[in-house]
Structure 1
Amino acid sequence: MARKTPPAKPTTVLLVRHGQTPTTGQSLPGRAPGLHLADAGVRQAERAAERLAELNKVDAVYCSPLERTRETAKPIGKALGLTPKVRKGLLECDFGEWTGAQLKDLFKLPEWKTVQQAPSQFRFPGGESFTEMQVRIVTAIEQLAAEHPGGTIVCVSHADPIKAAMAHALGTHIDLFQRIVISTCSISAVSYTSGGPIVLAVNSTGGSLKDLAPS
C-alpha cells in the first residue's frame, strides 16, 4: 500500500499592523505614497520588535510595499536578524476615489452605513471591493505560510486587510469583520494547519508572545 503524504507542518503567521502615522484615525491614506510613521509610530514599531524578538525563532519578515509598513518592519527585521521582504499581496485596500478622504466627511455619506454594516456589498469607487481585498490578503498569507512549513513568519500589513484575514481565520462572514479591532502595531497570530487556520491571538498590544501555540 502506498504511503500517504503526511500533512504539512503548521505555520504560525504573526500579522502586525503598521505603527501610528500623522493621519491615523483622520483619513483614508490608502495606497498613496509618501506617508511615514509618526514619532509615536516609530516607538510602537520598536516595542513590537522587542516583543517579537522574545520568540525562539522567526523564519522571515514580510511587509506591504508602502512606506509605513516598511518602516514598521525595519526594526522588527533588525531585532530578528532578518531582512524584510516586500509582498504586494499585503497591501492596503485600494480605496480608489476615496483615497486621502477625511473620515469626518466620509461619515456623512449614505454609503458609509454599507461600509460598516454590509461591506460585502460595497466597492470603493474606482477601487477594490472588501471581498476582493479579503481574497487577496488571505491568498497572500496562505502562500507565504506554505513557503515556511513548520515555521513562524511575520507579515506587516494594514488594518482592514488584517481584519479581513482574521475574519476568514475565525470563520466570520466579511459583513461582520468591522467588529474586529486591529490597533496600530498590534500583533495577531494564526496557525495555518492542514485542517484549516487556528486563531491564537487577536489585536495583542502588550505582554509576552512566548506561549503562542495551538492548545
Structure 2
Amino acid sequence: MTDLIAELTAVRHGQSRANVMFPAADAEGRLESGLTGRDADVELTDLGRAQAAAVGRHLAGLSPDRRPEVVVTSPFRRARDTWAIAAQASGLPWPEPVTDDRLVDRGVGDLEMMTRAAIRARFPQEPARLAERGYMRYRPPGGEDFHDMTARIGSFVADVHRDHPGRRVIVVAHDSVVLVLRGVVEGLDIDGLAAVEAGAGSVRNASISRFVADGARLTVAEYNAVGHLETVTAGPDESADPAV
C-alpha cells in the first residue's frame, strides 16, 4: 500500500454512564445495572463531558498542519457526543463528522447491557466458555471476538487510506476499536493485542492514540495518552464489555 493517510488519531469516548454503573452493579452482585435501553444510546457522564472538552482544548493547541482534516465517529451516542463537545470546546471550525458502522464497540450479542450476575443467571454456560477461550478469543452468543473486530476495522482502515490519502484523519470510538486499530496498523495477532493491553493497560476514556505515515506504512507515534486530561478529575473508565 503506497497511498496512505498522513496521520490517524484515535480517541476513545469520554466516561459513559455504563463505565460507572456496570462496575458498581457488578461489585454488588446485582442483576440490573440501573441502565435501560440500548448500548448505542448510553450517554456521557458529567466527567465524560469534561474529558471531551479537554480533548477539544488539546486539538485547539495543535498547529494548523497537525489538526485533523477528516472526522469519523462511531454511530454510538457516547462517541458522537464526545466529538461534538470536543469540537465546540476547541473554538475552531471542523469538517462535518461522518459515522461509520464499522467503528462500533465490540458486539456482545445476547449479553448486551447485562451485568455479570445477570449473565451467570441467564447464560450459565458462558463463564466456562470465556475461561476456556480467553477474553479476546471468546465470542459471546450473537456477538464478536477480536478476530471479527480485526476484520471489520481492517476494512475501515483500508477504505480510509483509499478515500483520504495524504490527509489527517481523526476517529472517535471505543476502547476495543482503538486497541484493534493498533493491531491492524502493526499487523498483530490476538496474542499481540493481548501483549499491547498488558503493557499499556486498557484504553482510557478520552485517551488519544496517534499513528503516522512512515514510508509505506503507519507507525505508532503515541498510544493511550492522557496528559491532556491532567486538569480533569479522574474517575472509573472500565470497559463495559461483560466479564462473566
- TM-score between both structures, scaled by the size of structure 2: 0.72
* 1:15 shift after superposition: 0.4
C-alpha deviation, 1:200, in angstroms? 0.8
Rounded to whole Å, the distance in 2 between the matches of 1:104 and 1:190 is 38
Q: 1:169 to 1:33 in 2, by over 3 A?
A: closer
Aligned: 1:100 with 2:113: yes
Match of 1:157 among 164, 173, 176: 173
Describe the SS at the equivalent of 1:182: coil
Report the counterpart of residue 153 of structure 2 in structure 1: 137
1:189 maps to which residue? Answer: 210
Name the aligned partner's letter for residue 138 of structure 1. Answer: G
Could you tell me how far apart the structure 2 residues matched to 1:115 and 1:182 are?
Answer: 22
Tell me the amino acid that sits aligned with residue 38 of structure 1. T
Choose which of 57, 74, 83 in structure 2 pairs with 1:73. 83
Deviation at 1:97, TM superposition (A): 1.0
Unaligned runs of 5+ in 1: 1-5, 209-215
Tell me the distance in 2 between the aligned counterparts of 1:23 and 1:54.
30
Q: Which amino acid aligns with 1:86?
A: T
Displacement of 1:137 after TM fit?
1.5
How many residue pairs match? The answer is 201
Alignment of 1:38-57 (within 5 A): 38-55=45-62, 56=64, 57=67
Normalized per residue, the structure richer in helix is 2
Alignment of 1:19-38 (within 5 A): 19-24=14-19, 26=22, 32-38=39-45
Percent identity between the two aligned chains: 24
Note if contact 1:31-1:66 (Cα within 8 Å) is conserved in structure 2: no
1:75-90 paired onto structure 2 within 5 Å: 75-78=85-88, 79=90, 80-82=92-94, 83-90=96-103
Provide the C-alpha distance between the structure 2 equivalents of 1:24 and 1:58, rounded to a whole number of angstroms: 28
The structure-2 alpha-carbon separation of the partners of 1:74 and 1:93, relative to structure 1 and needing over 3 Å to count, comes to same
Name 1:202's counterpart in structure 2: 223
Which residue matches 1:112? Answer: 130
Q: Contact conserved, 2:5 with 2:160, CA < 8 A, in 1?
A: no
Displacement after TM superposition at 1:102 (Å): 1.8
Q: CA deviation at 1:115?
A: 5.9
- Contact kept in structure 2, 1:8 and 1:194, CA below 8 Å: no
Asked if structure 2 preserves the Cα contact closer than 8 Å seen for 1:45 and 1:72, the reply is yes
Aligned residue number for residue 213 of structure 1:
none
**SS across alignment from 1:33:** helix
1:163: how far off? 0.9
Say whether the 8 Å CA contact 1:31–1:94 is kept in structure 2: no
Contact 1:31 1:92 (C-alpha < 8 Å) held by counterparts = no
Question: What is residue 3 of structure 1 aligned with on the other side?
Answer: none
Letter aligned with residue 200 of structure 1: A
